[in-house]
A = this chain, B = another copy of it.
């Protein structure tokens, strides 16, 4: 390396202070391979955090598909091309039949923004209901309905996310939605959309089973709202062989948005919806995304699907998820309050101690893990939850390394004086 970490950190001034780094001792990775990142000193880290490289860092098949198409042609959707149709059809084959239209963007933010534009056009309203610590993206519109980023817009109402599978939680969720709709109506804002991340990631991680969300969704739908399932976090098999959070949760969204893992790092995202919604949106004007749906993006997307399908990764996630759950529950004596999640998306909420808040403990554990060679992160409205979200090429052996390191970190940093 030509540059020291210190020098790189100084040079980062050109990006401005809105950019943040992970870890007290920031990581400088120089190479990625499957579930491993190697830093500038040559040290390898087990990646239990990054969901974007869903089929592994620098997946050879994906890189090859990208390179070959980039050498051949990279244009846009105003010309006819087979790749956008081949990929669109393959993607839709993973959805229920009624979700029969797909539109392509470059980022999950663009996908959520487009989904909302569509819903606004269809319902004629702009009132949006999201969960209390939601994150849906960085556009002007999405920042206003992402309470985890700060202040929300006056057209937005928040509901508590249902983080327990129970009849009471189902009733409470429906009641919150009922109240949010009423509040919008009282303010003369027409309710338009119920939008939520199907694994409630920024709310602290929870993967609902069938029965939890139905009552709330029915309540919203009866009031004329459309349901947008944000699958940017949960989608593409992260929760297992159901492929999508909304399938695991047993409901039928009107619109589904997706992004992060879709191109294994290539900027690829999209919106899937019912044909009548897409038709009504088109009545308000055309849509064109310069890079969205380009042949390189589409070939990359197909290579990701190939890997997921041919290696049965979502099916393997079912088994790995059971192992993870059992192993994480085994940490209960080490100051763990709750373990939430499914498949390869887990939140481990820690308890406070006499001298530390839960958030401080989580931060210590995350930094200790990084020092011990395992990468994970922190989430939740109070930042009291460890966030574990590895590539889907994770194996039982990787889980063993993760759990041994996590157990040791919890023992070292946090065992004493748990409240």
Judged by a CB distance under 8 angstroms, whether A101 is at the interface is: yes
Docked pose: A14 CA to B83 CA in angstroms: 13
Task: Name the B residues within 8 Å of A96 (CB-CB).
Answer: none
Q: Specify which chain B residues have a CB less than 8 angstroms from the CB of A88 in the assembled complex.
A: 14-15
Interface residue A286 (Cβ < 8 Å from any Cβ of B): yes
The answer to whether A17 and B278 have CB atoms under 8 Å apart is yes
Binds B, one of A18-26, A219-227, A240-248: A18-26
**Is A66 in contact with chain B by the CB < 8 A criterion?**
yes
Q: A22-B79, A31-B72, A70-B67 are in contact. Are A106 and B291 (CB under 8 A)?
A: yes
A411 within 8 A of B: no
Q: Is A190 at the interface (CB under 8 A from chain B)?
A: no
How many angstroms between the C-alpha atoms of A5 and B85 in the bound complex? 12
Smallest beta-carbon distance A268→chain B, Å: 8
Nearest CB to that of A375 among chain B residues?
B79
Which of A288-343 touch B at CB < 8 Å? 288-294, 296-297
Most buried by B among A18, A84, A102, A275: A18
Q: Copies of this chain, how many?
A: 2
| List of B residues within 8 angstroms of A419 by Cβ | none
- Give chain B nearest CB distance to A34 CB in angstroms: 12
Q: Which of B102, B110, B149 contacts A286 (CB 8 A)?
A: B149
| B278–A294 touching, CB < 8 Å | no
Q: Check if A412 is an interface residue, CB within 8 A of chain B.
A: no
**Separation of A106 and B266 alpha carbons in the complex (Å):** 10
Nearest neighbor of A120 in chain B, beta-carbon distance:
B140
Number of contact residues on A: which range applies?
A: 35 or more
Q: Is A89 an interface residue (CB 8 A)?
A: yes
Residues of B within 8 A of A141 (CB): 139-141
Proximity bits, A1-33, B CB within 8 Å = 1, else 0? 111010011011011111111100011111110
Interface string of A103-121 (1 = CB under 8 A from B): 1001111100110110010
Segment among A52-60, A158-166, A180-188, A387-395 that sits at the interface with chain B: A52-60
Smallest CB-CB separation from A289: which chain B residue?
B138
CA distance A190 to B82 in the complex (A): 48
Residues of B with C-beta under 8 A to A149: 285-286
**A156 proximity list for chain B (CB < 8 A):** none
A–B complex contacts, Cβ < 8 Å, 18 sampled: A14-B102, A15-B77, A15-B293, A16-B282, A18-B286, A21-B78, A29-B73, A32-B73, A52-B291, A58-B70, A63-B70, A67-B70, A113-B139, A116-B140, A117-B143, A139-B141, A143-B285, A149-B285
